[in-house]
Amino acid sequence: MSAPPKIPVFYPDSKVPVVCRSRPPGGPVNFHQHTDADWEFFYVSTGTTRVRVGEAHWDLGAGDLLTIRPDEPHACVRCRGKRYALMLHRKVLRGIPLRARGEASQGLVVDGVRIPKLLSVAPPRRQTVEYVLDRLHQESFGNEGDRQTMCVALLTQLLLEIKRSVVGEERWTGPRISPFARETIECLCEEVAAELASPWSMSKLVKRSGYSATQLASFFVQVTGMSPCRWIAQARVRKACELLAQSDASIVDIAVNVGFGSRCHFHRVFHKVVGTTPGRYRSLALHETRPLNPRHAP
């Protein structure tokens, strides 16, 4: 068998050797190995993903994080759902205000805690992990100044969340969810995401899932890290963010299209989730996507 090809990692900014990509479902990627000291992390947000690392195959579900060392050939064999691929050069770890190091022989160590190759991120931490990955994706491909400082800050937060998941893994005593129940919840989430404008009540979710309200709430937390109501609110806000950044529709129309009953309710939930108002978010999004004046480019 021939050796896997070696490919370089092309970072959007050579001064910020961190890049995060949000990957939708797609075909297989060529089996390859990085040419430099580049680490890669696969995180599965929804669905399932199969990754080949060397001769081993890893089947990942929602909340799973797989660490790939610089010397390991790898490829994403199959993906159903949403996943993130985060790549960074080992030298970035030196700039993080943590005792973080990555060694090909020992793996990743954060503040004296060894991160296992495959980690299931604790459900309460998944929301934060996915938010940080989304922000890393925006920063690594953005055109704003101070990208290096922001990426280091976000990477620090991500590693802290990963470390806390490892430390708190033994304390997680919630009931373990079956593969069938997990798939049911994931399908229900896909249905809700496709029909956000519908009035999704707890009784309607219970009827669609076939579980009791107590079971449904428990399974939702294990799969998404949130209660059903909170997950729906988050999904509506995420969709609203897309529409605010990519369309000229009014804020009221967007609120209705994603399922909020009133402008006041939309503003309150949006500010709680995002930390700013819809109008301010739209202004910032338009500013970030506007081409830079060459004289002011970093």
Nearest Cα neighbor of 223 from 44, 62, 79, 84 is: 62
What's the confidence (pLDDT) of residue 35? Answer: 85
- Which of 52-66, 160-174, 216-230 is the most confident on average? 52-66
| Interval 11-48: pLDDT, tens | 887 778 889 888 765 555 688 888 888 899 999 988 78
Calculate mean pLDDT across residues 257-279: 89
What's the confidence (pLDDT) of residue 292? Answer: 38
What's the confidence (pLDDT) of residue 283? Answer: 84
Calculate mean pLDDT across residues 243-268: 91
Burial class (CB in 10 A: 0-12, 13-18, 19+), 111: exposed
What's the confidence (pLDDT) of residue 65? Answer: 92
Calculate mean pLDDT across residues 51-64: 88
| Interval 97-153: pLDDT, tens | 777 777 766 678 888 888 889 988 877 788 889 889 988 988 888 777 778 888 888
Alpha carbon separation from 275 to 186, 209, 217 (Å, rounded): 27, 32, 26
- What's the whole-model pTM score? 0.61
| Interval 216-255: pLDDT, tens | 888 888 788 788 998 899 889 989 988 998 888 999 999 9
296 has pLDDT over 70: no
Query: CA angle at residue 195 from 194 to 199, to 5 degrees?
Result: 155
Least confident stretch, 50-54, 57-61, 164-168, 269-273: 164-168
Calculate mean pLDDT across residues 261-273: 89
Alpha carbon separation from 22 to 27, 110, 134, 216, 250 (Å, rounded): 15, 24, 8, 28, 28
260 has pLDDT over 90: yes
**Angstrom distance (rounded) from CA 124 to CA 222:** 8
Question: How many helices (H) and strands (E) would you count in the chain?
Answer: 9, 11
